[in-house]
Amino acid sequence: MKKYFSRLAGSFYDLGVYRYFIKTKTSQAFGYFLVSLLIIGTLVGWFSQRQLLPLFKERAVNSLDYLRQNYPSDLIINWDGKQLTTEPQIYHRLELNLQLLPLFQAPAEPAWPLIYVNSQLDAPQALTLLTQEEATILIDQQAVFALSPEGDLNRYWLEDYLGDNQFVIDQQSLPKWGDLFSTGLDRLLATFSWLIIPIVAIGLTMVRLLSSLFLAALLWLPASLGKAVKNWRETWRFTLVLMVVVEIIHWLARLLYPQSSSIYALAFWLLSVFILLALKPTN
């Protein structure tokens, strides 16, 4: 472990670390990368467990409070096992700006309303209404229509998710539904808190491993022309080691400046150019 941490620290300032991994066996570079990403992923998962899950719960509870305070006194929402309807007639068309909810607040983004209509729509009608209203989610009596980022319309039947159990939501019953939601949220987060660390650690490692193959392919030609590496395997070993450094820089930047955009790609390519030029043999 002493050698591992020595090389990890050296990868930030010592070109000898990169020369070593470029010339060593691929299994050693891969093992170094795997251990490093699992450690980083575990730390990120732990941070998410300690910071992000409580923040999510707080925003969800605040969103529930917002709905309680702003729920119309005469609005009745009814699910009879087949259809979702609203009364009185004034509420046969509803629009909710989701950004008003603390859970979805994003002031820099344009509004994306959720629309409900007390009627049954087919797909063309739903797409037309979503386009006219510049919305992404539409609910009718039987289904939820949602636009994908690519502009495709997806339909999800309410019966598949709400089942055939009948219920009514009005201002008097809203506290009961809020308590049920809070209880369910607590159970969900309690279960997920045990899973988030291995999910993040393994998921991050797998995503970066696949990315390393792609980045090494892009880097191989310019790196070989500069004679810093001789073949693709050497390029991949170099990429694996550099990605550990970039990963650490990326998450430190996110920790210190959480509102900033990701610097991962910029850091990777800038460091690649700088290090490969420094490794280029001189005549």
Inform me whether the pLDDT recorded for 107 exceeds 60. no
Same domain for 6 and 92, yes or no, is no
User: d(Cα 136, Cα 149) in Å, to the nearest integer?
Assistant: 9
pLDDT digits (tens, 9 = 90+) for 47-78: 888 888 888 888 888 888 888 888 888 999 99
Q: 139 with 115: CB under 8 angstroms?
A: yes
User: What pLDDT score does 237 carry?
Assistant: 93
Same domain for 162 and 81, yes or no, is yes
User: d(Cα 207, Cα 204) in Å, to the nearest integer?
Assistant: 5
Q: Is there a domain that residue 122 lies in?
A: yes
Backbone angles phi, psi at 143, to 5 degrees: -150, 165
Q: Is there a domain that residue 58 lies in?
A: no
pLDDT digits (tens, 9 = 90+) for 137-195: 899 999 999 888 777 888 999 999 888 888 898 888 888 888 888 888 888 888 888 88
- Residue ending a domain, among 170, 189, 212, is 170
Q: Which domain holds residue 238?
A: 2-40+198-279
| Total domains present in the chain | 2
**Residue 209 pLDDT grade (very low, low, confident, very high; cuts 50, 70, 90):** very high
pLDDT digits (tens, 9 = 90+) for 225-271: 777 788 889 999 999 999 999 999 999 988 888 777 778 888 999 99
Same domain for 91 and 160, yes or no, is yes
Q: Omega before 107 cis (within 30°)?
A: no
Same domain for 84 and 153, yes or no, is yes
Q: Is there a domain that residue 68 lies in?
A: no
Single pTM value for the model: 0.68
Same domain for 83 and 164, yes or no, is yes
- Residue ending a domain, among 170, 185, 214, is 170
Same domain for 78 and 166, yes or no, is yes
> What is the distance of C-alpha 98 from the center of its chain?
18
Q: Is there a domain that residue 53 lies in?
A: no
Same domain for 165 and 203, yes or no, is no
Same domain for 166 and 87, yes or no, is yes
Inform me whether the pLDDT recorded for 39 exceeds 90. yes
| Burial of 132 from C-beta contacts in 10 A (0-12 / 13-18 / 19+) | exposed
Q: Is there a domain that residue 191 lies in?
A: no
Q: Tell me what percent of the residues of the chain surpass a pLDDT of 70.
A: 95
User: What pLDDT score does 111 carry?
Assistant: 58
Q: Is there a domain that residue 179 lies in?
A: no
Same domain for 81 and 166, yes or no, is yes
User: What pLDDT score does 212 carry?
Assistant: 93
Q: Is there a domain that residue 63 lies in?
A: no
Same domain for 161 and 203, yes or no, is no
- Cα of first residue to Cα of last residue in the chain, in angstroms, is 37
Same domain for 17 and 94, yes or no, is no
Q: Is there a domain that residue 218 lies in?
A: yes
**What number is the average pLDDT over the span 209-230?**
86
More confident residue, 207 or 55: 207
Instruction: Mean pLDDT check: name the lowest of 34-43, 50-59, 206-215.
Output: 50-59
**What number is the average pLDDT over the span 103-127?**
77
User: What pLDDT score does 36 carry?
Assistant: 94
Same domain for 226 and 143, yes or no, is no
Centre a 10 Å sphere on the Cβ of residue 81 and count the other Cβ atoms it contains.
12
3-state secondary structure of 13: coil
